[in-house]
Amino acid sequence: MKVKMRNPDRIEELDDVRTVGALLARLGVHPDSVIVIRGDSLLTKDQRVSDDDEIELRPVVSGGAS
């Protein structure tokens, strides 16, 4: 599958990953630090993914001074 990652923008190509949780673990991404986007919806960490998927891991932490 193709996984779009941000800041900096890049694409990771992964195979043989069965769930979102496994995907995040493989990439070393904490589940609460991103939202996982497929199409126009979001995936929870128990959802299944396939090698054909295009997924975006979008970070949610913004850092401006409040």
* Binding footprint of another protein on the chain (CB under 8 A): 6-7, 30, 32-33, 35, 37, 40-47, 58-66
∠ CA(41), CA(29), CA(46), 5° rounding?
50
Measured from the CB of residue 5, what is the shortest distance to another protein in angstroms? 11
Shortest spacing between CB 51 and another protein, in angstroms: 22
Neighbours of 14 (CB within 10 A): 16
Q: Please report how close the Cβ of residue 50 comes to another protein at its closest, in angstroms.
A: 17
What tokens appear for 48 in the block? 């299944």
Name the residue with tokens 């959802």.
47
Q: Which of 1/37 has CB closer to another protein?
A: 37
